[in-house]
Structure 1
Amino acid sequence: MSDEPPAVTKYKTSFQIDLKNKWKKALEEKNSRESKGLPVISKLKANAEAKAEKQETRLLKKHLLEPTRAYLQSREDDLGLADNLNKTKVVNVSGPLSDQPGFYCKVCDVILKSSEAYLDHINGRRHQKLCGFSLRVQRSTLEEVQGRFLKLKEKGQNSTEYNFEEEINKLEAEKAKRKEEKKEKKKRQREEESDNAEIPAEMKDMGFDFASFGSKKK
């Protein structure tokens, strides 16, 4: 702050008068603090400190009043996003939200128009807060991480062995099926050749096709 008063014109305006009064008040406050041996703090710095103190008080109050919520957990239930895929459904636009087209969230009582928007909603802060969860994840210990890796390793080994046996059975079944189809095809070819051999040449020349008799629907 300057010790010199603000410049004013010959014809003083209300703005200039107000500015000079503020300057006098700030100068008196500065002289008073200097006479008492207190540090001189600028108005801008004082406002910033007051704002920071107010913000800290508000956050502390919010933290004390808010209930403690559980840590965020992984979802194990099926969301059923593909339940109505390729299905025709009659909807009531003027009815409740649960009957309208889209994905309905009964916790927040809102309707989302797409599966992407629905996923963003249920993973958001508002939905998790109403479900009693915070967005914080509980930190795992070293023993828990090691145990999790062992379970995944065992599960992967069992799954690999099971899938290998299943693939072997599938290949054998497909091979037997192809062999049977090939056998049936050769049998039909032999029967057709036998039937054609019994037909007289005169009949063949006249255009008679005895192999097609009885094959047409009446």
Structure 2
Amino acid sequence: MSGNKGSAYGTPATDTSFRRNYDLEEYAEKAKVRESAEREEAKARYEAKLAGKKYYKPMTGNESHTQARRQVIDLEANVGKTMLVPAGAGQGKRGRGAGFYCSACDLTFKDNIQWIEHINSMQHLRAIGETGEVRKARAEEVHQRIVDAWERLQEQKRAATTTLKERLEIREDEEAKDREARRLKRQAELAKKKAEKEAAEKMNVQYGDDVRVEGEHDEDDMMAAMGITGFGTSKKK
């Protein structure tokens, strides 16, 4: 048996060819470039602070003009939800934490007012690649914007009309069902009264007028048992 022990991959334990080799010079050059950029940014921030100005990252030339926001900002998306945040996230705004997080600027804001102010700030606009300047619209674009707004308004009106029509139809159906239920109830009551009347007439035909309803002649029977046949007048004709 050979003295060389094999690895789990079927190669000798001393063989490290499967491991990834890192180019140390490449990573050192990247780190040098990053450190240089950080030093330049720190210097520019310090100079802007001395001048009483706010620092913004220099534009690269690939930025676009600032445009109106199309989507609605949902400030209640995370209400009632549980979020996992990294350790130390509650210290300062830098990094991801509990609150409104901006991935472009790597900042977290604790309330919606700060969040709205941030996404409208020049810092955020530069971070998402916008110049902060608005391009002057042409007359054709203004006209098209008005037409689009008018179409949206008409669609909302049509949707409201359709909804109202559907509600009226549902109400008419419910009223028709109520009328049908009342009609069936009246028919059942009339049929019951008719059946009771026919049963009473049938009993009168079989037994004549001598048919006695329960409790109807109880008083006459009691008087007859006592020997009283009736009350008459004391006057003689």
Q: How high is the TM-score relative to the length of structure 1?
A: 0.47
User: Which structure's residues are more often helix, by fraction?
Assistant: 1
Larger Rg: 2
Q: How high is the TM-score relative to the length of structure 2?
A: 0.44
